[in-house]
Amino acid sequence: MLCLSISLVIFEGIYPMQKPYVKNIEVFIPDNRNMISLYDHDQQTHPIVTEMKLAGILEITNKLNLMFKAIFLSFMISVGLMSCDVLSNVSGSSPLISEEEAAQGIREALDQGVGRGIQTLNVTDGFFGNQAYKLLLPPEAQKIESTMRQLGMSPLVDKAVLQINRAAEDAVGFARPVFLDAIKAMTINDALGIIKGPKDAATQYFRLKTTDNLINAFTPVIKGSLEKFSATKYYDELITTYNRFPTTVNKLNPDLTAYVADRAVATLFDQIAKEEANIRENPAARTTEILKKVFNKRVTAGSPVANGQW
C-alpha cells in the first residue's frame, strides 16, 4: 500500500474560511481502488471524501505550487522595485560631476567670493568702519604712534590712518580683473579634494597659489589710490617729522604701498573665504548651475569620491 501525506496551508481569500489553518490529507491506495481519509490535527478520522482519484490531489498540489511561486515572484519584484527606488533616491539626488566640472565650480565660487568681497569693501568705511579690517599704520610706524600723539601730532596720525583706509576702499574696486586673471590661470591639481575639504579649502588653495602674484599685480593699483587720497602725503609727513627729531636714532622708512597691498589682498581673501563657506552651507547662495551641481558633492565613477576616498 502506498501512503502519501500532504500538508496544505489554506488561506482566507483563496478559500472561504475564517482564518488560515492546516489539515493533513492522507491518501491510501489499495491494490484495487483509491480511498482517501481526511482527518484533523487531533487524529480523529472523518472519511468525508471517497473515491477521489490521486490525480485530483496532485492537480490541487500543482495549482498550489504555482500559486505560491506567483506570490513569491510578486514579492521579489516588489522588493526589487523598492530597491531601485532607494538607489534612485541616493544616486539621483544630485548630478554627478567630473574633475573638470569640480575645477570650474571652484573657479566660480572664488569669482563669486571676489565679487561679494568687492561689494562689501569698495564703499565708504568698508575698511575704516570695520574693526576687523581697519588698516592701522604699518607695524614699524605703529611703534612711534604714541610718541607722535604725545607731541601733539594726533590730527596728522588720524588723517594718515583715515586716508590709508580710503585708499584701500578705492583700490579694491579695481581688484576684480587682477583676481580673475589669477583665478583663470590657476591650475587646480586636486579639484575634487578641494570640494571635499573644509569650508574655506578653495580659498586656502587660491591664497597659497596666487598671493605673491596678486600682490605684485595689485601694487600699482594701491599706489595710485594712496596718491589719489593723499594718504602717501600724510604718511610721509608723519614719518619725516619723526625722523627729524634729534632723539631719533633709527630712522623709519616703511613701505606704505607694500603694506596696504598686502593687507588689502588678505582682506579680500577673508571675504572670499566667507562667501565660499556660504556657498557650501547655503544652497540659495549657489547662483549658477555649476555651483549647484558641484557643491552637491557627487562625482562620476572612478573619481576619488566614487572610490570611497571622499
45-84 pLDDT per residue, tens: 444 444 444 455 556 556 655 665 555 555 555 544 444 4
Q: Are 113 and 271 in contact (CB under 8 A)?
A: yes
**pLDDT above 60 for 299:** no
Report whether pLDDT(222) > 90: yes
Estimate the crossing angle of helix 175-185 against helix 99-121, to 10 degrees: 170
Judge whether 196 and 305 are in contact, CB under 8 Å: yes
**The pLDDT of residue 74:** 57
C-alpha cell at 4: 502519501
Residues 183 and 211: their CA atoms lie apart, in Å, by 11
Distance CA 295, CA 290 (A): 8
Percent of the chain with pLDDT over 90: 49
Res. 1 pLDDT band, cuts 50 70 90: very low
Specify the pTM: 0.64
Model confidence at 263: pLDDT above 90: yes
**pLDDT tops 60 at residue 90:** no
Residue from 48, 36, 33, 31 nearest 4 by CA: 36
Measured in degrees and rounded to the nearest 5, phi and psi for residue 258 equal -65, -40
Q: Is the pLDDT of residue 3 over 60?
A: no
- Compute how many other C-beta atoms are within 10 angstroms of the C-beta atom of residue 71: 11
Query: What pLDDT sits at residue 187?
Result: 86
How far is 283 from 265, CA to CA, in rounded Å?
27
Exposure string (b/e) for 194-205, b if CB count within 10 Å is 16 or more?
bbbeeebbbbeb
pLDDT for 145? 92
Q: Are 264 and 172 in contact (CB under 8 A)?
A: yes
Of how many residues is the chain composed?
A: 310
**pLDDT tens-digit series, residues 135-167:** 999 998 998 899 899 999 999 999 999 999 999
pLDDT-derived band at 220 (thresholds 50, 70, 90) equals very high
CA-atom Rg of the chain in angstroms: 42
Question: What pLDDT does 259 receive?
Answer: 95
- 198 phi and psi, to 5 degrees? -65, 175
pLDDT in tens, 242-261: 899 888 878 888 899 999 99
Answer with the residue of higher pLDDT: 57 or 114: 114
Mean pLDDT estimate for the chain:
75
CB atoms within 10 A of CB 52: 15
Mean pLDDT of all residues in 96-118: 90
